[in-house]
Amino acid sequence: MGAWGSSLYANDTTSDVRDTYMGFLKEQLSNEEAYAKTLEQFHEYIEDPDEEPLFWYALAESQWKTGRLQDDVKAKALEWIDKGGGMTLWQKSPSGGTGWQKTLDKLKIKLESEQPKERKIRKPAAIDQNPWNMGDVYAYQFHSDEARKNGAHGKYMVLQKIGEESYEADLIMRVLVFDKLFDEVPRLDDLDGLRLLPIDYPTSTRELRMSSLLGLYKKKEYPANQLTFIGNISIPENVINARYSSSSWSVWFRIENWSLHFKNWQGVEYETIEEGIFRYTHPTIKS
């Protein structure tokens, strides 16, 4: 789990929970169905003292603003707020989590106030969520304020489509990212010998995940003006034959969030478990 600010959704967990819940509502599921499916997708977070409070915060705030806040969700969120849930993110911060505490205080006031009337959630217009050919390689230029904070603004990262997976009624792309930022759009031969960038954080205690799903639900999530096609290269056999059915590999890819991954993995080493490129051991920090 990574955080790039002290606001409620300035971390991977809360933003993932919010987007997942809202995605189910946009699929025209009832609030009860959206809640149940969100809980099922993030069941590993429950009883995890670091992740669980963030789960309830995001779900409660998302339900409140759409006029759908359930009593049990509200109670869980308020219980964690009273316990200062999520403060582990700020243990080593010079601020001591002052900003995060203010965020929790504001969230408590919101949840205890009268929620808005239930608003209709429209189903977004469908776009092609699987537009690239297998093996296609693209350069993406970072442009957000978040990327600027992480030292990646204006730089290019490179990603490749390595698979396709069915999700609900859609066909989603699976991509990997090469571990180097470029000042200009690179050529294919500039990728020779590069390692891959993990989608986990250096604090991960599990086998590192080296690829992610890329779901495109809105045009703004597919910023074509920031993407440059480089070419098409073969996909290693071990990646083609890898099985991604396990939920542990089904992590959603949000393009601008990768700027933080590049920052976090500077100076961190990891080793291959098997011959190939997608399974890696735990990281170690260079001395």
- Residue 161, classified by CB atoms within 10 Å of its CB into exposed (0-12), middle (13-18) or buried (19+), is buried
With cut-offs at 50, 70 and 90, classify the pLDDT of residue 185.
very high
pLDDT digits (tens, 9 = 90+) for 210-228: 788 876 666 666 677 889 9
Q: Is the pLDDT of residue 23 over 60?
A: yes
Angle at 164 (CA atoms; ends 160, 165), nearest 5 degrees: 135
DSSP 6-32: SSTTSBHHHHHHHHHHHHHHHTT--HH
Q: Is the pLDDT of residue 191 over 60?
A: yes
pLDDT digits (tens, 9 = 90+) for 59-75: 999 999 999 999 999 99
What φ, ψ does residue 90 adopt, rounded to 5°?
A: -120, 15
Q: How far is CA 4 from CA 10, 96, 115, 145, 257, in A?
A: 6, 15, 28, 11, 9
Q: Is the pLDDT of residue 141 over 60?
A: yes
- Residue 189, classified by CB atoms within 10 Å of its CB into exposed (0-12), middle (13-18) or buried (19+), is exposed
Find where tokens 């792309």 sit: 173
